Structure 1
Amino acid sequence: MKKQNNKRTGELRLIAGQWRGRKLPILSAEGLRPTTDRVRETLFNWLQFDIHGARVVDLFAGSGGLGFEAASRGAAHVNLIELDKTAAKQLRDNVSRLSANNVEVVQHSALDWLNATTAPQPAIDIVFVDPPFSKSLVSPALEALKKNGWLHAESLIYVESERNLPIDVLTGFNILKEKHHGQVSFRLLTPST
């Protein structure tokens, strides 16, 4: 008897750009909570004048929804950083499925990667910080981005978190935009000078 795969497969629909309407398979995994279409649409409306040609990092990539959407809309290069082996394999499969030469998957802890990897020059234009909820990863990710030279003065940082995230976690950053949807808060930040 063939062993059944216990991982349910879902789909991620890309909203706009060169891969508009394409559906990518995503595996369900504990803690994986893809950003909804509605929230992604709001985020990319915020980024519409900044995404083309941008250097992007999607920390805690999970399904890769934010990174693939950025690549579809014209980002020059996207790094998808994902610790989970199964999720990283699915991300690589989706990179191949799209022939996305501007997308690179790195299977690594996002925090370790930020602290151990030499920050690129020029710095990153857009960073997506959407970690698993209730793991207290937002603050250390923002701190590592800032202290290790990943950001320039006009970098944009998207943070998606549980609604009750304490605002002091965002110290050192200015909030440009902020919205709430259900139990989720999402914000667009820039480093404070």
Structure 2
Amino acid sequence: MNFIYSGKYKRNKLNLKNNINKLKNYKPTPIYIKKRLFNWLKIDLTNFICLDAFSCSGLLGFEIASKGCRLSILLEKNKILFLNLLKNKNRLNMKNIKIFNCNFFKYIKYYNRYYYDLVFIDSPYIKLNFLKKSLILISKYLKKGSLIYLETIFNFNFLKIDFLNLKILKNDFFNKINFFLIKVL
């Protein structure tokens, strides 16, 4: 389902183009995982700056914006998905969302101006080396206490990033996908 299920924009549908499911690498976060994640995030998000690094349908970035974060930044390199995100943002008139048509690595290198309280890295089929590189890059823009939501087909131990000082707060497994809520220590 493509609905925002909580917050100010509760019950609003995120419209998706009819042919969007045919796009390569289109794998939105399953509803079970999304609900589980937001049950884990029962915290005040008012001053949070959030980054949805691989937005796709935007379900996570829009949900966190609806819950009242200060700013939700959505990154999407696919032009069709990016335009779809913009249409939903404009239709809902969500002021606390910024959307960029670029990949995560380019954004962090050239455009980033923030330190994040919450980052979604939810491209479960991302290659192991890109996943590791994503975590290392974003770690420079996280504060002590920041949260990372990670969705992957890999076990967290495969990443071998012990030098980042992270603690897994919650984790679960659904339909070949491992997902984690991680805190920066």
Asked if these proteins are the same fold (TM beyond 0.5), I'd say yes
Q: Which amino acid aligns with 1:188?
A: L
Q: Does 1:153 align with 2:113?
A: no
Q: Does 1:18 align with 2:8?
A: yes
State the partner residue of 2:157.
167
Bigger shift: residues 88-97 or 50-59: 50-59
Q: Does 1:94 align with 2:88?
A: yes
For residue 117 of structure 1, report the CA deviation from its aligned partner: 2.9
Q: Which amino acid aligns with 1:95?
A: K
* Aligned residues with identical type, % of pairs: 27
Computing the radius of gyration over CA atoms, which structure comes out larger, 1 or 2? 1
- Is the 1:119–1:150 Cα contact (8 Å) retained in structure 2? no
Q: Supply the distance in 1 between the matched residues of 2:24 and 2:124 (Cα, whole angstroms).
A: 9
State the partner residue of 1:138.
131
> 101, 121, 126: which is aligned to 1:129?
121
State the partner residue of 2:26.
32
State the partner residue of 2:38.
44
Bigger shift: residues 135-144 or 55-64: 135-144
Residues 127-179 of structure 1: CA distance to partner in whole angstroms, max 9, x if unpaired?
A: 00012504333211101011xx31000110000111x3451415322111111
Relative CO higher for 1 or 2, CA cutoff 8 Å, sep ≥ 6? 2
Q: Does 1:180 align with 2:173?
A: yes
Unaligned runs of 5+ in 1: 1-10
Q: Supply the distance in 1 between the matched residues of 2:167 and 2:86 (Cα, whole angstroms).
A: 34
Residues 65-122 of structure 1: CA distance to partner in whole angstroms, max 9, x if unpaired?
A: 00000011111101001111110000000101110111011011111211223442xx
Q: Supply the distance in 2 between the matched residues of 1:13 and 1:188 (Cα, whole angstroms).
A: 22
Q: Which amino acid aligns with 2:34?
A: R
Q: Over aligned residue pairs, what C-alpha RMSD do you find?
A: 1.6
Q: Which amino acid aligns with 1:71?
A: A
Structure whose residues are more often helix by fraction: 2
- Is the 2:75–2:104 Cα contact (8 Å) retained in structure 1? yes
Structure whose residues are more often strand by fraction: 1
- Is the 2:124–2:177 Cα contact (8 Å) retained in structure 1? no
- Is the 2:124–2:151 Cα contact (8 Å) retained in structure 1? no
Q: Supply the distance in 1 between the matched residues of 2:59 and 2:152 (Cα, whole angstroms).
A: 16
Q: Supply the distance in 2 between the matched residues of 1:25 and 1:118 (Cα, whole angstroms).
A: 28
Aligned residues: 177
Distance 1:34 1:167, change over 3 A: same
For residue 50 of structure 1, report the CA deviation from its aligned partner: 4.0
